[in-house]
Structure formats: C-alpha cells, structure tokens
Amino acid sequence: MARYARVLLLLLCLILIGECRKHKSRKKRWSAPAETHKPGTPLSKKVADGTKTRKVKTSHLLRIDEHDFTMRPAFAGPAVPVGVDVQVESLDSISEVDMDFTMTLYLRHYWKDERLAFPSTTNKSMTFDGRLVKKIWVPDVFFVHSKRSFIHDTTTDNIMLRVFPDGHVLYSLRVTVTAACNMDFSRFPLDSQTCTLELESYAYTDEDLMLYWKSGDESLSTDDRISLSQFLIQKFHTTSRLAFYSSTGWYNRLYINFTLRRHIFFFLLQTYFPATLMVMLSWVSFWIDRRAVPARVSLGITTVLTMSTIITGVNASMPRVSYIKAVDIYLWVSFVFVFLSVLEYAAVNYLTTVRDGKDRKLREKVREQTQTLPCTCGMSHARTMMLDGTYSEADANSLAGYTRASMANEDASEKQERMVVHLSLDNEPTGPKKKGIRGFRIIQNTHAIDTYSRMIFPGAYILFNLIYWCVYC
C-alpha cells in the first residue's frame, strides 16, 4: 500500500509541474504583442478617461447647492438685463375665422448670473440640457395674448443651457405658439394684415428685470424659405415698450411685428370671375324673345340662385363681423344686377300683357265701327291709320291711304312693333293748315325696354367695376 501511495503522489507532482509550465507559456504569449513594436513606428499615448479619474459633479462645479436660485441675480439690487433674440423657423398658418396665427421659433435669452461663475483655464463654456434649468434661475418670459404654446420634446426637450466661466448664460428653447391677431376685413380680400407676437416677464416688473432686444432689429432673423399659400410676407420688424397693469405695475414688453399681404389670384378665380360671369349670363335674357317665358324665367332664377350660393360660400369661411367687407360690396352689387334683370323681364311681360289687352279692345272697337258705319262716299273724312311711333302729327295727316280694312288685316307680330294711332278728322277739306286731332292714344312699344337694357345694364356694371377696383387696389 505504501508503494502505491508513493506512485500516486509522484504522478500528482508531475501533473502540477506540467500545468505550471502551460500557464507560463500562455502568459508570455498574451503579453508579447504589447511589449514588442516594429521599428520606425511611433508609440501612441493612451488618453486618460476624465470620467474615471475626476469625479466632479456639475452641481459642485457650478456651486448650485451654495446659492438660493429661487431669487433673481443681484436680488434687492438693480434690474437684471435680459437680452432676447428670436429666430423664426416657420409661420405655420393664418386663420381668418379664429383670427390667430401659429408660429414656430427659437427663443434665446442672455443674462449674467455671477452665482454660476466657475474657474476655467481654457475659458470654455459648458453646455447642458433641460435638466439643469430646473435647478437654477431663468427669466419667466411668456407670450402675451397666446392661445396655445408648447416646447418641443422630440426626442428630448428642445432646451439648451450654456454657461460661461464669467457667469454669462445663454438659455435657448424651441417653441410653437398660437397667438391672437386682430384683423381688419373691411378691404378683404384686397387687404393687408399686421400681426404681433408679444413677449413679457410674468412676475418681474421693470424694476427687477429689464427685457430688451439684444441686437436691435438684427435680433430677429427669419428663414428665407418661409411662405404661405394665401399671403405674401412683406416684412418682419421688432419694437419694445412698457406695458402697465393697474394692480402690479410696469413691465417691459417686446414685440415681433410682421405684415402679410393677401394673394388676390385665388379669390379672382373662386369669387370675382364666377360672380361676373353670372351677371353677364343674366344679360342674355335681353336677347331672348319676350314670349319665351320659360326660357327667360329659368335663366333669371338660375343666376339668382348661383349668386346666392357664391355669397354663402364666401361668408362660410369668414368670421361673423359686423361691418361690410370689400367682397360683400362686389357680390351684393352683382346680385342686385342679376335680380334687376329678372325684374326687367317681369316689367316687360306685364306691359306686353297690358298692351295686348288694349290692342284686342281696339280691334274689337274698330270692327264694330266698320260694321255699323254706312258708306263714306261724300261724307266727312274718317280714317284709321297705323303708324310707327316715330311719326309726327304732320306725317300722320299726310298718310291718308290706310283704311280700317288694312288695319284689321295687319299681322299681329307687326302690331307689336308699332304704336296704334286712331285719328278722327273733321269735315273741313285738307289744306295747307294742319288738321286738329281730337283723340290720340299710345301704347308703348315693349321692345324698347329690352333694347335699352342691353346698353344700360352692361354700361352700369362696367362703371361699377372701374370705381370698385380703383378704390380698393
């Protein structure tokens, strides 16, 4: 047994010696590349990782815990100057119905807070995100007359804070704001609108915080690609003034003003041209025969209803203002022209009916006289003549060849083009002296109304257009 024990112990010793040799060879193989390098190649220095060697917190570097940042810088001292500049990224929409506009912009604040000063050998600033903003004092600027506003948060809050060694601070954020714009639509759609975005400190009066444009008019910059479908952006400019509140005092207020001029071409196609065409279409009835009642009535009613639809469509996209707009004047005058064309045919139809009735009675009376009168040979001259309305009394006396029979056989269509004149002459012979006329009855020609309307309606509408476009353009 003792012999076997010695043999096993010897085997274990040999195994341990072999493992030790293997371990040493592996260690040499791993460390060989790091210890050797090719001749002629420079040795690279290993950069130290500052996050591992220096564990300094931002709060310790800026000494945030040593100060009370709920109070403004230089508390109980002079007002803190806060410079502001704005870069307009986009002008998203203009709403006439809600009378507001939506704008996306970069809002930047500049001020000095000596409590945030830190030692630096390179004089380089430190940049932070929105998490540090909650720990320090920042200006409480808000948008006056804003309806909705928010700070963009994709993918993180779009807030940047940059602190310089001497305590100067740059605070920037990306905001979309919807603010009210008082619009005047008295010249719509030939109007220009001026909208204003106002910035002001909410809590600090001008004795605590002095808000100003950092570089004057150059504090406002815009993107050249900004455009709107219905408006032409004419100019951006900045102003500033003091605002007074009776309960709190005076505040510095900054203004971003921009002027917009409306594009007229869209409204020419959608409103003015259709309205003008409807008015011109209503004039077609003046060339249609007055006996074609269905044609003229249907044309007049169609144009009236179309004008009503155009007026309703325009007012549906506009706020309910209590004054008259320029487009209302044009549309309602056009509507009046269309409506008058319908009334014109109503007058023509009525006068035609009245005249036909009088002609009928006159023909019956002449027929009765023809049947009751004896032969007129050697008796006083009694003649009935049909004359055009342009003849004078002398011309009437000179026409003695028309008899009752010629008038009775006159075509009905020709009667409506003339005036019927019934003359009764006395027993005296015809001489150089004019004969007296005992009776003279005229029924006006209704064709003259249509004839005059063909000239009066277009002339009056052209005159209205000249005055309208001269006043509003």
pLDDT at 410: 45
pLDDT at 353: 85
Judged against a pLDDT cut of 90, whether residue 104 lies above it is answered with yes
- Mean pLDDT value of segment 434-438: 42
Judged against a pLDDT cut of 70, whether residue 440 lies above it is answered with no
Judged against a pLDDT cut of 60, whether residue 378 lies above it is answered with no
pLDDT at 53: 43
Judged against a pLDDT cut of 50, whether residue 439 lies above it is answered with no
| Residue 236 and residue 88 in contact, taking contact as beta carbons nearer than 8 Å | yes
Distance of alpha carbon 214 from alpha carbon 200, whole angstroms: 15
Which pTM was predicted?
Answer: 0.67
Judged against a pLDDT cut of 90, whether residue 280 lies above it is answered with yes
Distance of alpha carbon 380 from alpha carbon 390, whole angstroms: 27
The CB-based long-range contact list for 447-452 (8 Å cut-off, 24+ gap) reads 447/290, 447/416, 447/417, 449/344, 449/347, 449/348, 449/351, 450/286, 450/287, 450/290, 450/344, 450/348
Judged against a pLDDT cut of 90, whether residue 3 lies above it is answered with no
The residue that leads in pLDDT, 403 or 97, is 97
Which band of pLDDT confidence, cut at 50, 70 and 90, is reported for residue 173? very high
pLDDT at 168: 94
Tokens of 327: 């487009």
Please state, for a pLDDT cut of 90, what percent of the chain lies above it. Answer: 51
Which band of pLDDT confidence, cut at 50, 70 and 90, is reported for residue 93? very high
Judged against a pLDDT cut of 70, whether residue 236 lies above it is answered with yes
| 310-354: pLDDT as tens digits | 999 998 888 888 899 999 999 999 999 999 999 999 999 888 888
Which band of pLDDT confidence, cut at 50, 70 and 90, is reported for residue 225? confident
- Mean pLDDT value of segment 73-95: 93
Average pLDDT along the chain:
80
Domains of the chain: 64-262 (2.70.170.10), 267-361+463-472 (1.20.58.390)
pLDDT at 174: 96
pLDDT at 22: 66
